[in-house]
Amino acid sequence: MKIVLIGTAYPYRGGLASFNERLMEQFRSEGEDVEIQTFTLQYPSFLFPGKTQYSESKASHKFKIVRSVNSINPFSWIKVGRKLKREKPDIVLIKYWLPFMAPCFGFISRIIKSNKHTKIIAIADNIIPHEKRFFDNWLTKYFVKCVDCWIAMSKSVLDDINIFDKAVPKKLMPHPLFDNFGQAIEKAEAQKRLNLDSQKINLLFFGLVREYKGLDLLLEALSDERLKQMPLHLTVAGEFYDNYKKYEDLVEQFGLKERVSMQNKFVEDNEVVNYFCSTDLVVLPYKSATQSGVTQIAFHFSKPMLVTCVGGLPEIVADGKSGYVCLPDAKSITDCLIDFCTNRKDFSESLEEEKQRFAWDKMTAAIRLLYNESKIHNSK
């Protein structure tokens, strides 16, 4: 079977690129003919708040990645659409995460589908974005109409898809493990690499820092006098897409300068292992979410998590098995941290059991199943 994915991939960086490349590697390992059509331009510079969109790591993929799609140039959409229409792949996969991409993805998909052979399967991180704009629904409707079937990565996303289209085949599949960051190393070695105190209880907030991710709630929680009596240290590792000074001021205001280190940088793939293997607890204090790739890195490295009960996070992190699920407020986060520091529950056995739910071959099997269902659905 010929499978083409249109979306983010090397030389672009980040969770989307990692997911797409790992998915296509899984299909390749299962004997499928795969390639990725990625961007020549993903975001215009004025829409991108980070320092760079590009990876500093060396390419490691074993399949073809072609830079062909300009997200704001319809002439490139026509060219890519016509090329794939002629080549007639069995499946075109599109990882959908942002309505800004809907015109590009929707236009290309409509051209491809005119060959009456290729099925468009969308994998949805979000349908309704965290940071909403007035035109989001209109753009999403345009894209949804060309999709033959959907993979929803959380129940909340599945519900959102049904608002736009109840008829087409869909399947709920959680984000598989991010197992492409290497094998775990000893905690002592990881802490040495990051200059962390092994006598402390080390917490990790990982990934791009945006307002909806609730870092301010975590800092407020750490200001609780009971937690100040405990040997806690928080590492914030990720590029700030929100106002860095706002969080710097909160650290100062709450008296946390000796207990919090903020590293305003994108963490390259070869460094990820150090951050996760050095920590005792990964904290995701999100105010809103559908799901998060950070949980799947934590599962890979068998690290317990503290997440809030928003979106699909409680579907991924089972309270009492793979960590804690709390309300998205500072008091609830504080209570969980106190319990963790006081009781030091060992989650390792249940984490190993839980991570079996997130195998990549389950994702590829679901896509094949949807492909077959879509052929039946469209023949009716």
Beta-carbon contacts of 195 under 8 Å, excluding residues fewer than 6 positions away, are: none
C-alpha span between 137 and 114 (Å, rounded): 25
What integer pLDDT is reported at residue 127 of this predicted model? 86
State the chain's mean pLDDT as an integer: 93
The CA distances from residue 22 to 47, 106, 154, 282, in Å, are 26, 24, 19, 23
Coil, strand, or helix at residue 281? strand
C-alpha span between 76 and 295 (Å, rounded): 35
Q: What is the pLDDT of residues 322-349, one digit of tens each?
A: 999 999 999 999 999 999 999 988 899 9
What integer pLDDT is reported at residue 50 of this predicted model? 65
What integer pLDDT is reported at residue 378 of this predicted model? 65
215-222 helix and 244-253 helix, angle to the nearest 10 degrees:
10
Where are the strands (E) in 298-366, listed by range? 305-308, 323-326
Residue 108 has pLDDT above 70, yes or no: yes
| pTM > 0.75: yes or no | yes
- Mapping DSSP onto H, E and C, the string for 187-208 reads HHHHHHHHCCCCCCEEEEEECC
Coil, strand, or helix at residue 5? strand
- What residue has token string 């909403």? 132
**Domains of the chain (ranges, CATH numbers):** 2-176+359-379 (3.40.50.2000), 187-357 (3.40.50.2000)
Q: Which amino acid is at 360?
A: W
C-alpha span between 358 and 296 (Å, rounded): 8
Residue 133 has pLDDT above 80, yes or no: no
Residue 379 pLDDT grade (very low, low, confident, very high; cuts 50, 70, 90): low
Please, what sign has the CA dihedral across residues 180, 264, 240, 211?
positive
Instruction: Residue 147: name the closest of 121, 173, 183 by CA.
Output: 121
Q: What is the pLDDT of residues 13-37, one digit of tens each?
A: 888 999 999 999 999 999 999 999 9
C-alpha span between 138 and 134 (Å, rounded): 8
Burial 159-189 (b: 16+ CB within 10 A, else e): ebbeebeeebbbbbbbbbbbbbbeeeeeeee
Bridge partners of 262, per DSSP, are: 236
Residue 360 has pLDDT above 80, yes or no: yes
Report residue 348 as tokens.
């390792």
